[in-house]
Amino acid sequence: MTYAVALFFLAILACLAAAGFFLLRKGDDGANDAQRSQRMARALAWRVGLSVVLFLWLLLAWKLGYIQPTGLLRAA
C-alpha cells in the first residue's frame, strides 16, 4: 500500500514537472504556443486526475479496512 501511494505521488510530481517543462520550453522545435499550451493543459489535467484517483482510492482503502488512522492528529 505504501509503495502504491508513493508511486502515485511520483506520477503526480512527474505530471507537474512535465507541465512546467512545457510552460518554460522555447518554441524552437516548431511547436507553436497553442500546441505548448495544449500539452501543458493536458499534463495538468493528468495531475488533477491522478490526485482525485489517489484521494478516492485512499478513502476506499480506509472504508474497506486496508488502512487505519494512526491517531497522530487527535486532539488531546
Q: Supply the pLDDT for residue 10.
A: 95
Q: Which residue has the cell 518554441?
A: 27
Q: Supply the pLDDT for residue 28.
A: 64
Q: Supply the pLDDT for residue 67.
A: 85
Rounded to two decimals, the pTM is: 0.76
As a whole number of angstroms, the distance between CA 25 and CA 9 comes to 24
- Return the closest-CA partner of residue 46 out of 57, 36, 54: 54
Other CB atoms within a 10 A radius of the CB of residue 22 amount to 19
Which amino acid is present at 61? A
* 21-52 per-position pLDDT tens digit: 888 877 666 667 788 888 889 999 999 999 99
Q: Which residue has the cell 520550453?
A: 25
